[in-house]
Structure 1
Amino acid sequence: MCEPTNDSTSTSTTTVGIPRVRWLDHGIEHSALWRSESGWPAPASVVTGDDSMTAETALRLASTGTAILWTGDFHNAKQLLAAMGKRLGTPVPPRNDDITAAFQRSRVDALRRSTLLGMLLVPVSADGTIPLRRSPDIRQAIAHAWGPAIEASVVSLRELLGVIGAEEWRTRGVDVPALGAKIHPHYGVFSPVRGEYLDLVANAPLPPDAATAFDIGTGTGVLAALLAHRGIRHIVATDQDPRALACATENLDRLGFGPAVTVEKTDLFPGGRADIVACNPPWIPATPKVATDYAVYDEGGRMLAGFLSGLAEHLTPDGEGWLVISDIAERLGLRSRGDLLDAIEDAGLAVIARMDTRPTHSRATDRTDPLNAARAAEVTSLWRLRADRP
């Protein structure tokens, strides 16, 4: 339907801590779990929509806080979502904006787009199917992302497409030339698609007689795999996210490195010391605003600060800390090079050497990106650090 009627409105409720959405469709009340991995609250108002709805109507409803629960053809829902995105366009920052202002404006716009486009919803049945015409079989994808289905739910189409895309990455895998193999990322775990930082870890000189390593914030386990591939015999890979822990374990076992690597749930460092302590923290010290931010946004620089402040006490006498980080935060005016060097010095560390590489991803050459000046000049570095000796 193009317009909501009194017969198709709803409210959201929460029962025993579980968010739910309730709506009316042709006089019949329906209810389902509200599911949002991004942490969005259940919409307070929902109307049903079908193949006759236009992008203009959908955006008008979304802008008033009204979500649209789709009852039509699944492919038409995807087309409607794309049309809504095109109508929102890509804002161009004012000419007098500096790069920091352009970045802040881009974050506001990303949140606005995510909020509006997230208002197009689809139902998911208790058996893990989508009860819409021409819908794909997503049962394996949602089982991997959400676990066993409990009951019928409602989810943002945009988020569901992310689940489907993540399952394709998990099935197909990501080529890692330095390993001569693939890494298979799980839903919600950062995919190692930027190979330049992996090459740095694959080529950095090893400390003499290095036999042990820690991989802090392992994610998919790719850095632990690279270190094992290089002959490090005992590695502890840490993370706090259950999805990352499961993903790393699966990847390392598949690659045959399971016996060499212990995957441990902990915040930053495990107990003891190692010859190499590697970390690739999120690169931007800003507050995540949308789901895709969490892999690259480190609010307040918490993980970077924690890694540097605890590194010296976890290194063997001749051990090295390997910090893999981009200078994009410096180029966006969010952190200075002096800030990083001061943090290294304050932690009782010294810089042995630094290896640099340039980005190869497509956004570095996308001149329509308002942050292109920063992305095109970006340098990713592996900082080799040791405990400062008096």
Structure 2
Amino acid sequence: MDSTASQVALQLLNQHEGISSSTTFRLLGRDWDLLPGVYAPHLTRSAALYAEWIPYPVGGSFCEIGSGTGYLAVTAALRGCRLVHATDITSAAAENIALNARRHGVADRLSVHRGDLFAALPAGERYDVVFWNSNFVEDPGQGPGAPAGGDLRLAFYDPDYRAHDAYLRDARDRLAPGGRLLLGFTSLGNTAKLTELAQRYGWRPRLLRAVGYDSPFGERIHYQLIEFLPAQGR
């Protein structure tokens, strides 16, 4: 695994593990609830970027995979989406999403579903836009310095890109006609492997937006918004 990706992930994981009680944070000009054990979006620059970059389907349906605190799903509802579904695999995150939906008055059009990727979504539901800010760091292994297990690890690491594989494999069945499949990614991720998986399932990745920042570890990190388009003939 790329050493910078490992360092960045470990630094963030340590910061998150230091959050031991419920609190609030400020992002996008609003206050948000944050529960222990949930990914804290204000600790990274990418959170605000994705919130502004995503093409919200005003009047349409939006699904966020791995929603965490739900700040982005709530933003989609506030930006005019008629129906928003937010999923996360952990119970703490599901509770956190619901808290922020109530805090910002969008619980009437934002539904929370606890489960892995698309598994917990209502059968047959399709969306105009599906987005996942992915856990792009590959498994760091179990050697010295490897992070401990637990729910927070799921926010950072995807061993062998199994979750990315499932996302690209199953997404087509969750898109409405003309729907858009989006992924938050970075230059620290395994772009070659992601491209290989996309091609396996009949997708063609296209970079929509990117911006670079210098990391504390001496490498420039590019946050990316990727859209997956159907390959020719699919």
Which residue in 2 is equivalent to 1:176?
Answer: 27
Query: Matched residues in 1 for 2:5 and 2:39: separation?
Result: 22
Secondary structure at the aligned position of 1:259 is classed as coil
1:303 corresponds to 2:163: yes
Please give the alpha-carbon distance, in whole angstroms, between the structure 2 residues aligned to 1:305 and 1:101.
Answer: 23
Is residue 197–residue 324 contact of structure 1 (8 Å, CA) maintained in 2? Answer: no
Task: Provide the rounded CA distance (Å) in 2 between the counterparts of 1:278 and 1:162.
Answer: 26
- 8 Å Cα contact 2:70-2:100 kept in structure 1: yes
Give the CA deviation at 1:278.
Answer: 0.8
Q: Matches of residues 105-116 of structure 1 in structure 2 within 5 Å?
A: none
Shift of 1:202: 2.1
Deviation readout 1:285-341 (Å, 9 max, x if unpaired): 114632564421112212222111111121111110110111213xxxxx3x23222
1:204 aligns to what? 54
From the CA coordinates, give the structure whose radius of gyration is larger: 1
Aligned counterparts of 2:198 and 2:17: Cα–Cα separation in 1: 37
Secondary structure of the equivalent of 1:253? Answer: helix
Counterpart in the other structure of 1:277: 130
Q: Could you list the runs of 5+ residues in structure 2 that have no partner in the other structure? A: 141-145
Return the letter of the residue paired with 1:290.
A
Aligned partner of 1:220 among 69, 72, 80: 69
> Secondary structure, in 3 states, of the residue corresponding to 1:278?
strand
Structure 1 stretches of 4+ moved >4 Å: 99-104
1:383 and 2:222 correspond: no
1:189 paired residue number: 38
CA contact (8 A) 2:56 2:62 kept: no
Distance, in Å, in 2 between the alignment partners of 1:274 and 1:183 is: 25
Secondary structure, in 3 states, of the residue corresponding to 2:209?
A: strand
Q: Does the Cα contact within 8 Å between 2:67 and 2:73 map onto a contact in 1?
A: yes
For residues 134-145 of structure 1, the aligned pairs below 5 Å read: none
- Displacement of 1:352: 4.9
Q: In the alignment, what sits opposite 1:323?
A: 183
Q: Would the alpha carbon gap of residues 210 and 299 (structure 1) be closer, same or farther in structure 2, given more than 3 Å must change?
A: farther
1:155-200 per-residue CA deviation (whole Å, 9 max, x = no partner) reads: xxx9xx956x432xx33x22112xx212221110110022434323
Match of 2:199 in 1: 345
* C-alpha RMSD of the superposition: 2.9
TM-score (norm 2): 0.80
TM-score (norm 1): 0.50
Aligned mates of 2:27, 2:106 — CA distance in 1:
15
Cα gap change, 1:210/1:305 in structure 2, threshold over 3 Å: closer, same or farther? Answer: farther
Flag the structure with more relative contact order, 1 or 2, with Cα contacts below 8 A and sequence separation at least 6: 2
Cα distance in 2 between the residues matched to 1:102 and 1:378 = 9
Question: Residue type matched to 1:202 in 2?
Answer: E
**Matches of 1:201 and 1:189, distance apart in 2:** 18
Equivalent position of 2:208 in the other structure: 354
Letter of the structure 2 residue corresponding to residue 322 of structure 1: L
**CA gap 1:347/1:210 in 2 versus in 1, 3 angstroms:** farther
TM superposition shift of 1:377: 1.3
Q: Cα 1:100–1:248, aligned 2, differ >3 Å: closer, same or farther? A: closer
Give the superposition deviation at 1:350. Answer: 2.8
Secondary structure at the aligned position of 1:325 is classed as strand
Mapped to 2, the partners of 1:274 and 1:264 lie a distance apart of 15
For 2:75 and 2:184, how far apart are their aligned partners in 1? Answer: 14
Specify whether residues 386 and 317 from structure 1 end up closer, same or farther in structure 2 by C-alpha distance, changes over 3 A only.
Answer: farther
**Is 1:289 aligned to 2:138, yes or no?**
no
Tell me the number of residue pairs that the alignment of Structure 1 and Structure 2 aligns. 217
Conserved? CA contact 2:33–2:100, under 8 Å: yes
Q: 1:267, CA displacement in angstroms?
A: 1.9
More helix by proportion, 1 or 2? Answer: 1
SS in 1 for 2:20: helix
